[in-house]
Structure 1
Amino acid sequence: METQEEAELCFPQLLNISCKKNTRPQSESMLIYVLIFVISLLTVILNLLVIVCISHFRKLHTPTNLLLLSLAVSDFLVGLFVMPFQILLIEPCWLLGDLVCVLFYFFAFVITGASVVNMVQISVDRYVAICDPLHYSTKITQKRVRICVLLCWIYYVFYSFIILTENLKRPGRYNSCYGECVINVIGAVDIVMSFILPVSTIVILYLRVFVVAVSQARAMRSHITAVKLQSSVTVTVKKSELKAARTLGVVVAVFLMCYCPYYCVSFSGSDIMVSSSTNIFLVFLAYSNSCLNPVIYAFFYPWFRKSVKLIVTFKILQPQSCDTNISEKM
């Protein structure tokens, strides 16, 4: 008959080296699972809509939308792969073995990192479009964007491999008992590469865009008595630029709100258990950015709403639907 001590172990047959179960109230567990399921499902559906829209309609095959497509793919994988597997990490015991544990973290690093870098690339794209519009078409081409997207993913594959090298060489070396899923990375390096540099880049680009938008708005007001045709053209340009600046502002604010709590705790050196409620909240707050990205980047564009209507009404199944004229105006 199983003793009470054995019942509290993840692997009763490994009496001396097995981890102990860390049970939580059933109501708390159910709340966590429901939230994970809802966020994961929304992330998959919203990003899948973005992927289908941009991939199907030829009018949407622009450099900016290629970046949106790459971002949607990475965020889609976060919802499809990273979030569901995170449930196993918050369970009392990890049952899939040490190698699967390290591989999960490896792919999670690649996917989430690519999502952040894609957001940086979109900020660069908007910066050039607003601050140097005359040379945008020559600087930002589809070929260059494809290369940048490819390099983005390759970079984070190598980065994840390097930062997890010791863990990949000997899976489970940092586990204190059998049934844990623990890795060790150089925290300072990861914080700089995954948070400080991307955030700094985005903030600097946004501030530059904001300064340009404000200066042009002032110029517009100072020349209010100019020729009507000139004024009307100026107003159109300035409204577009100000709207792009506001959109970038929302992007920066949401990104910081999602990622700052997690990295601030990591930077402070606080020791939080992987399965603790605090860590679960911080991790999924960061992952929720992948759910909000399609809302910020795509729902703000009229072409997305029009494309979704064609998708949900199955009109994309009609012949030549890929040539439908989808407006690109913001």
Structure 2
Amino acid sequence: MILHYVLLCPCRQLHTPTNLLLLSLAVSDFLMGLVVTPLQVYRRISCWYLGNHICFLQGYVTFSIISASIAGMVLISADRYAAICDPLHYSTRVTVSRVKKCVCLCWFCAFTYNIILFREELIKPGLYNSCYGMCVVYIDRIMSYVDVALTFVVPFSSIIFLYMRVFLTAVSQARAMRSHVAAVTLHHSGTKRSELKAARTLGVVVAWFLICFLPYYLLTLIPYTLPAVFSLFLLCLSPFLNPVIYALFYPWFRKALRLIFSLQILQPGSCETNML
């Protein structure tokens, strides 16, 4: 997923609001795979010997990255909603500059919110560790319900609502295209088809995101409903399968991979390569 960063820097053709949102998701996926997954595996299979401060830090960083990922998914859903349901104003309302500000705000809010969530652990790391070798990051019951509401119920309800609106709009547009009532707007229809395809692809990403995160939050809401190891496994699996989804659905992603691994990206003029 860090390939998104490598690609967006030199390839000007990929500097779009949607790709910037995908870049944010790619960064969170990369951090999940690089930082969160190894520490969580180590925490599960071995005693914790990295100290109380690192224990607090891994919990804080894990929750912050998850919060940023969920916020990114909400932004992606809102982007597809604007592109499909209000295409005439999309290019003026959803600009690269505004998307950059929204992404930065999401990451800032994610890390700030989790400072409040882990305030007790921040003041005194290891407060709830009963013996040496444990790594317990405790959140009181009331705050855990608030966290579930803010990082699961509200954002995922918003995602489902937005994609239902996108689906209903897509169905009505497909009927209009089949009936050929707007023969003079063939070019516009072609643009619509590309937007609908992007919406379907990102819909697959969002659906997989829901599948991976739902067991984790179910375990938080209803303890002992699912094995903790299984929910953690799904949570850590999400960033590894997103690149596979992109490779399957995005031709430009496969073209970009060839550009990188053949080292053509280092050649002068690679920024002008036609990626679409």
Question: Scaled by the length of structure 1, what TM-score is found?
Answer: 0.77
> What letter is aligned with 2:263?
F
Q: Is residue 181 from structure 1 mapped to residue 135 from structure 2 by the alignment?
A: yes
Q: Choose the corresponding residue for 1:199, options 146, 149, 156.
A: 156
The structural deviation recorded for 1:252 is 3.1
The change in CA–CA distance for 1:234 and 1:143 in structure 2 (over 3 A counts) is: closer
> What letter is aligned with 1:197?
V
| More displaced 10-residue stretch of structure 1: 253-262 or 243-252 | 243-252
Structure 1: unaligned runs, 5 residues or longer: 1-46, 273-277
Q: Could you give the per-residue CA deviations for residues 246-303 of structure 1, whole angstroms, max 9, x where no partner exists?
A: 224323321221111121122113398xxxxx32221120121122233335652222
| More displaced 10-residue stretch of structure 1: 182-191 or 201-210 | 182-191
Q: Choose the corresponding residue for 1:323, options 252, 272, 276.
A: 272
Match of 2:60 in 1: 106
The structural deviation recorded for 1:325 is 2.2
> What letter is aligned with 1:69?
L
Distance in 2 of aligned mates of 1:78 and 1:299? 22
Match of 2:23 in 1: 69
Greater percentage in helix: 2
Q: Is residue 133 from structure 1 mapped to residue 133 from structure 2 by the alignment?
A: no
Taking only the aligned residue pairs, the percentage that are identical comes to 52
The structural deviation recorded for 1:239 is 3.0
Q: Is residue 150 from structure 1 mapped to residue 99 from structure 2 by the alignment?
A: no
Q: Is residue 220 from structure 1 mapped to residue 169 from structure 2 by the alignment?
A: no
Contact 2:219 2:228 in 1 (8 A): no
The change in CA–CA distance for 1:234 and 1:136 in structure 2 (over 3 A counts) is: closer
Matches within 5 A, 1:306-317: 306-317=255-266
The structural deviation recorded for 1:234 is 6.1
Matches within 5 A, 1:1-330: 47-185=1-139, 186-221=143-178, 223-224=179-180, 226=181, 229-230=183-184, 232-233=186-187, 235-270=189-224, 278-297=227-246, 299-327=248-276
Distance in 1 of aligned mates of 2:65 and 2:210? 18
The change in CA–CA distance for 1:318 and 1:238 in structure 2 (over 3 A counts) is: closer
Q: Could you give the per-residue CA deviations for residues 193-251 of structure 1, whole angstroms, max 9, x where no partner exists?
A: 22112211110110000011111222233x33x47x43744652453344234224323
Q: Could you give the per-residue CA deviations for residues 1-43 of structure 1, whole angstroms, max 9, x where no partner exists?
A: xxxxxxxxxxxxxxxxxxxxxxxxxxxxxxxxxxxxxxxxxxx
The change in CA–CA distance for 1:296 and 1:196 in structure 2 (over 3 A counts) is: farther
Question: Scaled by the length of structure 2, what TM-score is found?
Answer: 0.91
Distance in 1 of aligned mates of 2:224 and 2:184? 58
Contact 2:84 2:192 in 1 (8 A): no
Structure 2: unaligned runs, 5 residues or longer: none
Q: Which has the larger radius of gyration?
A: 1
> What letter is aligned with 1:244?
A
Q: Could you give the per-residue CA deviations for residues 38-60 of structure 1, whole angstroms, max 9, x where no partner exists?
A: xxxxxxxxx12222112221211
Distance in 2 of aligned mates of 1:175 and 1:197? 32
> What letter is aligned with 2:169?
V
The change in CA–CA distance for 1:212 and 1:116 in structure 2 (over 3 A counts) is: same
